[in-house]
Amino acid sequence: MTRFARILCVIYGATGLFLAWAAVQSKLAGSVWASFAFTATSIVPLIAYLREAEFTDAKAETRANVERAARVRENGERRAIREAADALQHVCCERWWTSLGTDHDPTCAKQRRAA
């Protein structure tokens, strides 16, 4: 949870406590409808707190997914580089390139070995 989110949660808590206190004061003063209204509205900061916690969880999950995707992409790039390096180790002559690795130049050492 970020610092700003924590501050918001503290504000939500203070607002909820104030509304609960106002509900009790209204009840003691005999204003039933005001007491009911304060009680009902004291739920709103609780909902806001829960939404803030849910948002924080969703944000953390998104961050984890992005990091996981970056790791997978990085592993894929490393694998591609490794495969390219492995393929380039077999490069020996011009004909090998143009024949997709099926043939060698007559002067190539590998051609002599095969022949």
Which residues contact Zn ion (rule: CB under 5 A)?
92-93, 96, 104, 108, 110
Which class for 22: exposed (0-12), middle (13-18), buried (19 or more C-beta within 10 A)?
middle
Comparison of 3 and 113: residue with beta carbon closer to Zn ion: 113
Q: Give me the least distance between CB of 87 and Zn ion, in Å please.
A: 13
The nearest distance, CB 107 to Zn ion, in angstroms, is 9
CB of 112 to Zn ion, least distance (A): 9
Amino acid symbol at 101: G
In this complex, which beta carbon is closest to Zn ion, that of residue 75 or of residue 107?
Answer: 107
Contacts with 52 (C-beta within 8 Å, 6 or more apart), sequence order? 1, 5, 8, 9, 12
